[in-house]
Amino acid sequence: MATVIIPAALRKYTNQNDRLVIYAHNVSGVIAELASCYPGIRPHLISVDGKTPAFISIFVDNHDVRYLQKNETLVNDGSVVCIVPAIAGG
């Protein structure tokens, strides 16, 4: 099981939960479980082509999955998964 940290911008899709416990073996499983439990979050984590959008960064235990095995990065018991959307403004 992993603890998933939900950023403020996406909490409206998770009933204002800022942390969720997800049972999954890898990042893809975490995303799939989130999308299954909270369908409103799906378009923010999964693009039309089925991939994580470039403006979303995902970290497992403080390591950016883009530099690991991307969505196939393993999630261990006790892992912390952080979802970080890009923030625009100016």
Q: Tell me the average pLDDT across 16-25.
A: 98
Per-residue pLDDT of 21-36, as tens digits, reads: 999 999 999 999 999 9
Helical (H) or strand (E) element with 36: helix 27-37
- CB-facing half-sphere around the CA of 73: CA atoms within 13 A: 21
pLDDT at 62: 97
Band of the pLDDT at 87, cuts 50, 70, 90? confident
* Domains identified in the chain and CATH numbers: 2-85 (3.10.20.30)
* Backbone phi, psi, residue 38, to 5°: -135, 80
Query: Quick check: 80 pLDDT over 70?
Result: yes
